[in-house]
Amino acid sequence: MTLALAVENDELVVEVPEHSPVRLPLAGESRASRLLIFGYPGRGRTRYGLAVLDESGLVMLEAPGSRSRKAVEAFAAGSGLEFEFRAFDTPQQARVALARRSPRWRAVTWRRAPAPLPRLRVPGARSLRPPLGSPKVWWREQLLYVLMWAVLAYGAAFVALVLLNLTSIRADVTRGDAAQGDVTWGMEPLGVAALVLAGLTVVGAVVVVGIGRRRSRHQTAQGRVLRREGQPHCRLVVVHDRLLLETARRTRELDASELLLYSAESGVTGLLVGGGLFHLPGRWNAEDVERFAAGNGLGFQARSLTHEEYLDLTAGAKDAVP
């Protein structure tokens, strides 16, 4: 990810392609005070990234990608910022640290490289990787999505066959009608059958997709799905009494019995699942969280935290979705 740093009028300007410049204050409360280059073990290699931290060590902005340590350190020294290099032992430690958001946290979106394994996203965001627990329900859901795509592809194929059949021209040109160019459009019985099947298939696909979307809205209203507002995508789902955490990259099963919705005095909000098992920062609708907990037999608590309580609570999480 290409990223440019500059200082203008007591502000740290972070420029990212295809995104408006992000301006972080260098003075006052919750100001940018440190540039952090971090690394953590990934699949076959070490992953690196750059984060901007405030005076409390909370993340104001995070961008993945390897960068020159000397260049970043020189920029920090010339801009009056501290510099730190931190190597995390596990990816979980990195996610926990990056999920500790500053009150001035800014989300930055960019185009990522395509994932090595394609994912099905109809009607919701789901991963092709099964959860850690029993995958029986997961496989049934994935089969539904595969059939849905198969129905759409089946309909498209028959529509193509119909169009090819309709555009086949049989011209019977004789001496008597050569001047007027008598052309006859014909459709074989196979084309008629293809047209009927294509119509039924397209109608069936629309019905299936509509049912899936209506089911998704119904699950939210009934307290079976809980979504985090904004990006990155994250939601909690209960399927056959199993609590699943779905993100854009994977689905995992959580062994948790309580939800803690917090709001720090600085304005930072988030959700803690299972007494600190998972930290999910961001905006969560309080009514939806309470309905989700009550409908699935989970304990629910809403707390207002001081700044020190927020630091202690988020530092003790075992994993997180930044």
Give residues with Cβ within 8 angstroms of 40, minimum separation 6: 46, 47, 87, 88, 89, 90, 91, 93, 94
> 95 or 185, which is more confident?
95
> 249 or 11, which is more confident?
11
What is the pLDDT confidence band of residue 249, given thresholds at 50, 70 and 90?
A: confident
Residue 236: pLDDT above 80?
Answer: yes
Residue 174: pLDDT above 80?
Answer: no
Sheet holding 4-8, edge to edge: 4-8, 11-15, 22-25
> 290 or 107, which is more confident?
290
The pTM of this model reads: 0.66
Residue 84: pLDDT above 50?
Answer: yes
Instruction: Look at residue 132 in the predicted model and tell me its pLDDT.
Output: 46
What is the pLDDT confidence band of residue 30, given thresholds at 50, 70 and 90?
A: confident
What percent of the chain clears pLDDT 70, i.e. is strictly above it?
A: 68
> 134 or 77, which is more confident?
77
